[in-house]
Amino acid sequence: MKKYIGNEDPVSHELETIEKRKLETPEAEPPMPTVPPYDPPVGLMNQFRRKWQEAGKPKYRNPVVAAVLQVVPGLGYVYMWRMAFAALTAFLFLLAYVILGLRILQYKPEVNARLATPVNPNPEPDLWNWSLLTPESITLLWVALALLAINLGFRTYHQARLNNLNLQVKSLAEIRKARGTFIQRVLTFNYLALIIFVFGILQVAKDSDFDLGRLISKLDNIKRYVGELLNPNWNALFTEKGIMFRARETVEISIIGTLAGAVVALLISFLAARNLMGRNPITNVAYYIVRIILSIQRSIPTLFLAIVFVVSVGVGPFPAVLALTIFSAGLMTKLFSEAIEAIDWGQVEAISAAGGGPVHVVLFAVIPQVLPYYISHILYSWEVNIHSASVLGLVGAGGIGQYVQDAINTYKYADIGMALFIVIVITMAIDFTSAYIRAKIL
């Protein structure tokens, strides 16, 4: 998006705030004079570094505060990893996160100057250079690891006690005893998660520039645009490559993307179901490989996928179909495998006790149990995909988003209002139909 209406557009606002920061910063602290500003070569990695450095420096002047704010949400992610995978992967993740995160935050020109040589007096920052790791970072790394280890240790111990409880304890008194003393309860309580959560929220609000004042001061602007949107242009409906044409394209993209994703997910979901795979070392390895691939896949935003495909296969609905296929295959694999994990295992046992082989078990004990859920999940994915398909056009991947993109570029706000209206109608129609069918089959 290059053009904006009105004198208050986001880009100029951003520039303004950056200017302000620049003005404020030198006053707050004496500048570091010795090192001339570093201007890195253009490149994705360097741009990231630049961004990190800019984000990190002015906000958190005190290195300890900076590091704590950096580590705490990190621990949150670690905690989620621990829930999703296992303690070991969580530890590795934490290590990577803290080292990389602290290194970036701790970047200081005067430290970086240590890398200077007579040949290269202005070295670019090398985040992987261990000699630049500051003592604060190392201390914090250990503190974070120790905290996590203590909490994990206590919780694991407590869990083991509770497990024994199920099998051996008979009386209420014993159950009370096994619950532990007050101190034990304090130690095993998941306070870490609570703190992480609170700090995480605080930082999220800070990072996303949450500012009610700014919202209120711009209320007039918002009113003006919304007013135009609410006055849709009905004539835009049936023009060539008009709204109806693009809307149909959106629906078609979502249908094909969902179906292709379902086929892929159908095959992979068996590999991603712990109860089927976890009983045998070989299949267990397959299970973990599939899970790791899935978690990587899920972390790629659909819009990003669409951009990649638009660049590689060209503009139009096809890149959107590819992006949705990958996205919904991941989503459905997760949902499908969860359905498999929830099956009544007795039916599986009965088939194998009758001499059935592994494929028989899948055919006769698993599929009949999960089929209605599969259909329901496919419909649900379709609902999600129709939402995504409307947006993907913004990056050139066809559908109604494409129409909106074109209309923005030509300032036709009333046409956008019309497109929005059609999107709402279609999405609601599909949501209602799908919800109705799902309620029927489950």
Partner 1 sequence: MSSGAIETGATQIEVRQLSKVYPNGLRALDNVNVDIKKGEFVAIIGSSGAGKSTFIRSINRLVQPTSGTIKINGEIVTGNDLRHLRRDVAMIFQQFNLVKRLTVLRNVLMGRLGYKNGLGLIYPIFNSKDVDLALASLQRLGIAEKAYIRADQLSGGQQQRVAIARALTQEPSIMLADEPVASLDPETSIVVLDILKRINREDGITTVVNLHQLDLAKEYADRVIGFKGGKLVFEGTPDQVTREVYEKVYR
The nearer residue to partner 1, 362 or 384, going by C-beta atoms, is 362
> Can residue 301 be called a binding residue for partner 1 (CB under 8 A)?
no
Quick one: which segment of 339-347, 374-382, 410-418, 430-438 binds partner 1 (CB under 8 A)?
339-347
Tokens 């790394």 label which residue? Answer: 141
Min dist. Cβ of residue 378 to partner 1 (A): 18
Task: Please report, as residue ranges, which positions from 5 to 34 form the binding site for partner 1 (by CB under 8 A).
Answer: none
Number of residues that bind partner 1 (CB under 8 A): 23
In a 3-state reduction of DSSP, which class is residue 411? Answer: coil
C-alpha atoms less than 13 angstroms from C-alpha of 147 in its C-beta half-sphere: 22
Token pair in block for residue 76 = 């949150």
Report the candidate in 374, 127, 177, 400 with the shortest Cα–Cα distance to residue 261.
374
The nearer residue to partner 1, 221 or 369, going by C-beta atoms, is 369
Report the candidate in 168, 32, 17, 214 with the shortest Cα–Cα distance to residue 110.
32
Interface mask toward partner 1 for 341-370; x: CB under 8 A: ---x-xx-xxxxxxxxx-xx--xxx--xx-
The nearer residue to partner 1, 172 or 359, going by C-beta atoms, is 359
Measured CA to CA, the distance from residue 22 to residue 29 in angstroms comes to 12
Measured CA to CA, the distance from residue 437 to residue 442 in angstroms comes to 9
Interface mask toward partner 1 for 366-405; x: CB under 8 A: --xx-x----------------------------------
Report the candidate in 308, 336, 335 with the shortest Cα–Cα distance to residue 322.
308
Measured CA to CA, the distance from residue 103 to residue 95 in angstroms comes to 12
> Can residue 340 be called a binding residue for partner 1 (CB under 8 A)?
no
Provide the residue type at 90 as one letter.
Answer: A
The nearer residue to partner 1, 183 or 354, going by C-beta atoms, is 354
The nearer residue to partner 1, 133 or 362, going by C-beta atoms, is 362
H-helix segments, 113-234? 135-168, 172-179, 182-188, 191-207, 212-217, 219-229
Measured CA to CA, the distance from residue 101 to residue 136 in angstroms comes to 13
Min dist. Cβ of residue 180 to partner 1 (A): 20
Min dist. Cβ of residue 90 to partner 1 (A): 23
Measured CA to CA, the distance from residue 77 to residue 98 in angstroms comes to 11
Task: Please report, as residue ranges, which positions from 162 to 191 form the binding site for partner 1 (by CB under 8 A).
Answer: 163-164, 167
Min dist. Cβ of residue 139 to partner 1 (A): 40
Min dist. Cβ of residue 167 to partner 1 (A): 6
Min dist. Cβ of residue 141 to partner 1 (A): 35
Distances 154 to 43, 116, 319 between C-alpha atoms, Å: 46, 47, 49
> Can residue 442 be called a binding residue for partner 1 (CB under 8 A)?
no
Min dist. Cβ of residue 337 to partner 1 (A): 19
The nearer residue to partner 1, 246 or 438, going by C-beta atoms, is 438
> Can residue 297 be called a binding residue for partner 1 (CB under 8 A)?
no
Measured CA to CA, the distance from residue 369 to residue 341 in angstroms comes to 11
> Can residue 282 be called a binding residue for partner 1 (CB under 8 A)?
no
Q: Is 353 buried (19+), middle (13-18) or exposed (0-12) by CB count in 10 A?
A: exposed
Binding site for partner 1 (CB under 8 A): 163-164, 167, 344, 346-347, 349-357, 359-360, 363-365, 368-369, 371
